[in-house]
């Protein structure tokens, strides 16, 4: 089920259960797309919607990170310059198409019975523009700020539309889901959330889940903070990485859909391992300094 909403004048946001959210900012210079549906048929339907809503074409196509649910649909979008973080460029450059398709099948085969056939036309799109810290796009009357937010991945970008006080956060913020932390640096994640909390924002479009007000930032902050604290407590109590995985029980913060338990368990396991390694590294560095 896809729900597309015009959350501010000229700004569409779509959220769907099976992948990342995506959206469109209409400007006099053409649309600016933020991510795209990863299932090809949905991407084609979104393309038709984009062409209807923004008849003067697409100026830019931004991918907020390099995970497949954010990048795979890029090849189905109308022509435009693709923008990613510079680290995402490296991932995409090294990405083998067959590996991408394999991952896509693992993720969506059960959901979409004819997925293998749909994936036939997929190609990996390399960005023409890469962003380090940030860049401003001047599109007619609209200024759009694209900036790096550390934490979820080293390549996550947020997209801010000041005139509408709308912020697309990529997966730095997810709403009603367990944040995916397998590529994360939890300490940076918290400081990025602190940063966006200071911005003048009326509406947040998270990477996954429904749009909301700034309060959804606070819920992710509490989650990451608590997650980190639990892993840290295990580390300092002398537990190994494997024991820590057993001890940090899936947080009750969000309901897990029936049938989705195994996937969420896997995500949580890799998240705990990642944060454990981060805390171990911090402890080692502290010892070397002290
Ligand atoms: Zn995602």
Q: What are the pLDDT digits (tens) for 168-199?
A: 999 999 998 889 999 999 999 999 999 999 99
Rounded to the nearest angstrom, the distance between the alpha carbon of 287 and the centre of ligand 1 is 35
Residue 260 has pLDDT above 80, yes or no: no
Rounded to the nearest angstrom, the distance between the alpha carbon of 84 and the centre of ligand 1 is 14
Whole-model pTM over 0.85: yes
Adjacent-strand bridge partners of 31: 58
Coil, strand or helix at 95: coil
**8 Å CB contact between 241 and 277:** yes
Rounded to the nearest angstrom, the distance between the alpha carbon of 251 and the centre of ligand 1 is 19
What is the C-alpha to C-alpha distance for residues 178 and 220, in angstroms, rounded to an integer? 9
**8 Å CB contact between 24 and 33:** yes
Domain map (residue ranges) of the chain: 2-223
Rounded to the nearest angstrom, the distance between the alpha carbon of 241 and the centre of ligand 1 is 25
Rounded to the nearest angstrom, the distance between the alpha carbon of 149 and the centre of ligand 1 is 14
What is the C-alpha to C-alpha distance for residues 272 and 270, in angstroms, rounded to an integer? 5
Rounded to the nearest angstrom, the distance between the alpha carbon of 260 and the centre of ligand 1 is 16
Q: Which residues surround ligand 1, an ion (CB under 5 A)?
A: 20, 67, 69, 171, 207
In tens, the pLDDT along 125-174 reads 999 999 999 999 999 999 999 999 999 999 999 999 999 999 999 999 99
Mean pLDDT is lowest, of 44-48, 181-185, 259-263, for 259-263
DSSP per-residue string spanning 175-229 = SSS----TT--HHHHHHHHHHHHTS--SEEEEEES--B-THHHHHHHHHHHHHHH
To which residue do tokens 């022509």 refer? 79
In tens, the pLDDT along 215-235 reads 999 999 999 999 999 999 999
DSSP 13: E
Q: Regarding the domain delimited by 2-223, which CATH topology (the fold level of the hierarchy) does it fall under?
A: Metallo-beta-lactamase; Chain A (3.60.15)
């Amino acid at each position: 089920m896809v729900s597309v909403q015009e959350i501010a004048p000229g700004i569409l946001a779509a959220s769907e259960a099976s992948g990342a959210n995506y959206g469109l900012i209409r400007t006099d210079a053409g649309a600016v797309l933020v991510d795209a549906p990863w299932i090809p048929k949905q991407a084609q339907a979104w393309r038709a919607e984009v062409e209807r809503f923004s008849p003067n074409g697409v100026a830019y196509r931004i991918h907020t990170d390099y995970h497949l649910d954010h990048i795979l649909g890029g090849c189905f979008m109308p022509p435009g310059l693709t923008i990613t973080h510079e680290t995402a460029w490296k991932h995409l450059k090294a990405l083998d198409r067959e590996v991408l398709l394999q991952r896509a099948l693992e993720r969506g085969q059960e959901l979409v019975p004819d997925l293998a056939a749909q994936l036939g036309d997929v190609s990996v799109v390399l960005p023409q523009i890469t962003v380090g810290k940030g860049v401003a796009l001047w599109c007619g009357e609209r200024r759009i700020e694209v900036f790096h937010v550390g934490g979820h991945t080293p390549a996550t970008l947020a997209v801010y539309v000041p005139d509408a006080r709308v912020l697309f956060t990529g997966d730095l913020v997810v709403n009603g889901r367990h944040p995916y932390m397998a590529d994360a640096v939890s300490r940076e994640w918290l400081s990025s959330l602190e940063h966006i909390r200071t911005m003048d924002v009326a509406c947040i479009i998270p990477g996954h889940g429904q749009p909301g007000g700034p309060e959804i930032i606070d819920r992710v902050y509490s989650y990451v903070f608590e997650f980190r604290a639990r892993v840290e407590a295990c580390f300092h109590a002398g537990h190994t990485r494997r024991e820590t995985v057993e001890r940090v029980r899936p947080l009750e913060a969000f309901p897990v859909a029936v049938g989705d338990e195994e996937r969420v368990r896997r995500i949580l396991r890799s998240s705990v391992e990642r944060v454990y390694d981060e805390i171990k590294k911090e402890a080692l560095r502290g010892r070397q300094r002290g």
